[in-house]
Amino acid sequence: MKTLRLILGDQLNIKHSWFKQPNDEIVYCLFEMRQETDYVVHHIQKVIGFFAAMRQFAKDLKVLNHGVIYFKINDANNTQNLIDNLKLLINDHSIQRFEYQQPDEYRLDIQLDTFCKTLSIESGIYSTEHFYTKIDDLAQFFKGKKQYLMENFYRDMRKKHDILMVANQPEGGIWNYDKSNRNKWKEDDMIPSYKYFENDVSDVLNDINKATIKTIGHFKAKTFAYPISRKQALEQLRFFCEELLIHFGDYQDAMHTSEAYLFHSRLSFAMNLKLISAKDVITTATNYYQKNKNLIDISQIEGFVRQIIGWREYMRGMYWARMPEFKKENALDNTNRLANFFWTGQTKMNCLKQSINNSLDNGYAHHIQRLMITGNYALLTQTNPDDIDAWYLGIYVDAIEWVQLPNTRGMSQFADGGKIATKPYVSSGSYIHKMSNYCDSCYYNNKKKTEEDACPFNSLYWNFLDDKRPFLENNFRMKMMYRVLDKMTPEDLHQIKYKAQHIINYQDEY
């Protein structure tokens, strides 16, 4: 039976059981499409990375003697639409059965499910064999519960998969070393030179330019630095274990003007394209830790494990448990526009300037820059979640909706009303000063609230708490801050709110 198997751009798992042995009756198809480049404005490096990794994957399949049909973005027979391309191949190649792997994006899941219902030939759906969990595991785990606490899910994952466990207890005696993961980097611990891959993507870039795909961000190099194959992803993982893991936990929340990546692994792009699996990453990192306990503290590896099997698997589960309503939620009724400087990086606020320009230059920012700088500012200025969603989904090379949406709309913007985060992740300038050196060279003073040179985060923070009092004052984690707010004199609060409103009205002057 002649079978067509679809591989999406984020399903590049060469270790998938599909590829164990070639079969002349099976042909695989991959498509570069305007459907995928145009639904949001993507970073130029994101489009380059996806196309380069897809092209490399097609080559790897051919080396293994698999039949492959690949449509590049400018190919004459490319309809630029997933369903139309599939129909074309099914007709042209007399296909008798169509198969695909479960998409990780809701829109593609619906699109392919609807398509299969129209087919007169057989069809089948398979697991991507990438995640620890199935898409409905988290929903089942929290069934009947009012809160979806990640910590509960994370501990269950540790037990279930025997990760950093000793006699069914957490290694080291405690589950979570988050309090040890909040150090400010002061250049005492040297960061090794980053591992860059010299992937020649000139042909990909030429094709993108010829197709006149609208993009954001910058690409000044001649080569793409992130892994685009399993081999490269494993090299990146090995580099992380040998050079960065030793201080990963210490500085995972730190930010610094001279370091874009600090001790972070830079594996998220490779993982989200499935070049390398979550189990690959966890097994390799924990094995390295076990062999090097004399050098690496438990707090370093636990912080990394928590990001992969706690945060990453949890966010995927939340995405599938709450879609499609999730995409429309706006519990705080925020409607303001996103500042123009999110697209240019031109602002006098140094923390935002550093984080946004890092994003524009590298298609990258680590989780604290995303959560407590750009996300914090967007929430304090009461930005419409739709706008910040589109920015986050486009700006980062690793951004795919299943991971971006719950992080943005849930954790960062509190638009789900507290399903993911137990309180809004907002702060004044004091937190930014505590975790970075951004304030040292900033035009604004992080200790001032209403003066001309006052840090905008300070007035915005107290204004936000006052504006959102009906939503938040009964939140047990916010009560202390509301007690502080209530001690302000009416005149002081008036001045703060006046300053904050001016910032919101004239964001691009700050």
Closest CA to 7 of 232, 268, 274, 234: 274
Q: pLDDT by residue for the chain (510 residues), tens digit each?
A: 899 999 999 999 999 999 999 999 999 999 999 999 999 999 999 999 999 999 999 999 999 999 999 999 999 999 999 999 999 999 999 999 999 999 999 999 999 999 999 999 999 999 999 999 999 999 999 998 877 889 999 999 999 999 999 999 999 999 998 887 778 888 888 888 888 899 999 999 999 999 999 999 999 888 999 999 999 999 999 999 999 999 998 888 899 998 889 889 999 999 999 999 999 999 999 999 999 999 999 999 999 999 999 999 999 999 999 999 999 999 999 999 999 999 999 999 999 999 999 999 999 999 899 999 999 999 999 999 999 999 999 999 999 999 999 999 999 999 999 989 989 999 999 999 999 999 999 999 999 999 999 999 999 999 999 999 999 999 989 999 999 999 999 999 999 999 999 999 999 999
Closest CA to 95 of 29, 41, 170: 29
Give the SS3 label for residue 207: helix
pLDDT at 52: 98
For the record, the structure tokens of 480 come out as 């202390």
Tell me the sheet residues that pair with 101. 126
Phi then psi for residue 307, to 5 deg, are: -65, -35
pLDDT at 187: 81
Give the C-alpha distances (Å, rounded to integers) separating 484 from 187, 462, 499: 35, 10, 19
pLDDT at 188: 80
What is the C-alpha separation between 149 and 155, in angstroms, rounded? 11
pLDDT at 147: 79
pLDDT at 205: 96
Instruction: Spell out the residues 6+ positions from residue 11 whose beta carbon is closer than 8 angstroms to its own.
Output: 101, 128, 273, 274
Instruction: Spell out the residues 6+ positions from residue 146 whose beta carbon is closer than 8 angstroms to its own.
Output: none
What is the C-alpha separation between 261 and 359, in angstroms, rounded? 11
Encoded amino acid at 361, one letter: D
What is the C-alpha separation between 236 and 418, in angstroms, rounded? 35
CA–chain centroid gap for 38, Å, is 19
